Amino acid sequence: MALSDLSPAERHRQVAGAFTDRVRGAKDWDVPAPVDGWNARDVVRHLVEWLPPFLSGGTGVELPTGLSVDEDPVAAWEAQCAAVQALLDDPETPQRMLANPHIGEVPLDRAIDQFYTSDVFMHTWDLARATGQDDRLEPEFCAALLSGMEPIEDLLRSSGQYGPAVPVPDDADAQTRMLGYIGRDPFWTTPR
């Protein structure tokens, strides 16, 4: 079943599972990553550090904390991954609302899915590419994310979360087009 067809809980389970595989497979946390100024550790740091205040500020949900990314990026990621999955597996979560001044009120499971799970999906490529692992992403979900982002391009670019689009060939596949759209050079390789 395609990622687009899954519930928020199941989509997170699969997307976060793929990212977990890349986290566990990383051998060097100081290698440069495709995000300018970041290394592999920073990819994990970004995901571990932005979600907790987003949730606590919008819902009062406090994720349990573990080791820091500096101490142990694998343990830090695994703790957050498990906490988010438990939250999504809770049958009460779809009835809870997340309030945010930029997006209004959104069901909590949908907010996690739309903002966090999709971010984990995109950053899977960053970590995989930085650490020399399998960087293939599901093409259908790449296409779905791209079609959802294109109509709100001005908002995305003005948020500071996305760099300028990187031109890609007209006949590029969905993953390449999505990566270029979010400001990644799809042909980036680790500097030697």
Residue 82 and residue 71 share a domain = yes
Residues 112, 169 within the same domain: no
Residue 189 has pLDDT above 90, yes or no: yes
Average the pLDDT over 78-98 and give the result: 97
Question: Does the pLDDT of residue 106 top 90, yes or no?
Answer: yes
**Contacts by residues 34-38 (CB-CB < 8 Å, ≥ 24 positions apart):** 34/125, 34/126, 34/129, 34/130, 34/184, 34/185, 34/188, 35/126, 35/184, 36/163, 38/126
Contact 133, 24 (CB under 8 A): no
Whether residues 15 and 85 share a domain: the answer is yes
Nearest to 54 by CA among 135, 116, 11: 116
Residue 192, pLDDT above cutoff 80:
no
Is residue 101 predicted with pLDDT exceeding 90? no
What is the separation, in whole angstroms, between the first and last Cα of the chain?
A: 38
**Does residue 191 lie in a domain region?**
no
Region of 60 (left: φ > 0; alpha: ψ -120 to 50; beta: rest) is: left
pLDDT tens figures, 173-187: 999 999 999 999 999
pLDDT band at 167 (very low <50, low <70, confident <90, very high): very high
Q: Residue 66: its pLDDT value, please?
A: 82
Q: What percent of the chain stands above pLDDT 90?
A: 84
Q: Residue 15's domain is classified under what CATH number?
A: 1.20.120.450
Tell me if 13 is assigned to some domain.
yes
Q: Which domain holds residue 113?
A: 3-137
pLDDT band of 1, cuts 50, 70, 90:
confident
121, 111, 12, 35: CA torsion to nearest 10: 20
